[in-house]
Amino acid sequence: MPELAEVEFFRQKWNPGLRQKVISVHLHPQKRIFRETSTTLLSRAIQGRHLRSSHAHGKQMLFRFGSDVWLGIHLGMTGKLSTASASHIPRPHDHLVLRTARHSLIFQDPRLFGRVRFALSPQPPSWWTTLPPPIHSPKFSKKKLEDICSRRSRAPLKALLLMQQFFPGIGNWMADEILWRSRLSPRTHAGHLSQKTISNLHTHIRKICHDALRIIGKQGSNPPRSWLFLHRWKSGGFCPRCHHPLQRAPIGGRTTCWCPLCQPPTPLPRAPQH
Ligand SMILES: [Zn+2]
């Protein structure tokens, strides 16, 4: 599933259409990516307007057309944005195609877990403005992470990092990468971390998000081999730091990969002595 960096990568795929007028809209109105969205209103509103700007936030994207038309896209599991020539003939999974004089801006989604939303208003819609603060914003502070860890003290760290209401855009591979860098077991409960460990975890959350946005989001490259990223899918893969065989198990509902040597179980805090 696309995470924050891949979403940023796909957001830019429609950049060739910036400042261009949408001449026609082609879509598949019955597909579930348009659930709770009026495709008739959407087509009518976008047609004739110029693509003005786009934004990514966690796993969501927002495109502004003219001064008051907002198109929200969530890529789901298999969604992708791309640009083709104006003469592009839509393929079966191209569920939304915006045609300009020079380009076709395409949203394709074979498995249909994505979502397209639309709003007509001078201000960005509430489903965008109420998203949690981005991880790279100053609002995602150490204090905020301490609060999250104490509110969800019984959650294993892997499950915690996947909670989109706290960590927008972090998905399976980024959560594994963050815990591997922080040398924390994915099974450690959030309530068992010392202040120093939380501070270290905070640093790595910010660093991984920042580096992933730069390497994958902006450059479209794979992370370097020193990351867990390129080793975590291999059966029989080895930790790129200590070369110990990596371990895999479902945690927090997702296949989790970690190094048992670099990420040993965190000892429980000692009970107070009487
Ligand atoms: Zn290791």
Nearest to 4 by CA among 224, 213, 220: 213
- Domain locations along the chain: 4-129, 142-258
Number of Cβ atoms within 10 Å of the Cβ of 261: 15
Task: Let me know: does 71 contact 118? Beta carbons within 8 Å.
Answer: yes
From residue 121, alpha-carbon distances to 11, 17, 70, 114 in Å are 22, 22, 8, 23
CA distance 118 to 125: 9
Please state the CATH superfamily assignment of the domain spanning residues 4-129 in this structure: MutM-like, N-terminal (3.20.190.10)
Q: Do domains 4-129 and 142-258 have the same CATH topology?
A: no
The predicted-structure confidence for 210-221, as pLDDT tens digits, reads as follows 999 999 988 888
Residue 136 has what pLDDT?
Answer: 86
Task: Give 244 Cα–ligand 1 centroid separation in angstroms.
Answer: 6
Between 15-29, 107-121, 179-193, 260-274, the lowest mean confidence (pLDDT) is in 260-274
CATH number of 142-258: 1.10.8.50
What is the pTM for the complete model shown? 0.89
Q: Would you state the structure tokens that stand for residue 23, as one six-digit string?
A: 């001449």
Task: Give 242 Cα–ligand 1 centroid separation in angstroms.
Answer: 4
Task: Give 60 Cα–ligand 1 centroid separation in angstroms.
Answer: 33
Residue 219 has what pLDDT?
Answer: 83
Mean pLDDT confidence for 248-252: 92
Protein residues placing their CB within 5 Å of the ion ligand 1:
239, 241-242, 244, 259, 261-262
- For the chain, the first-to-last Cα distance in angstroms comes to 50
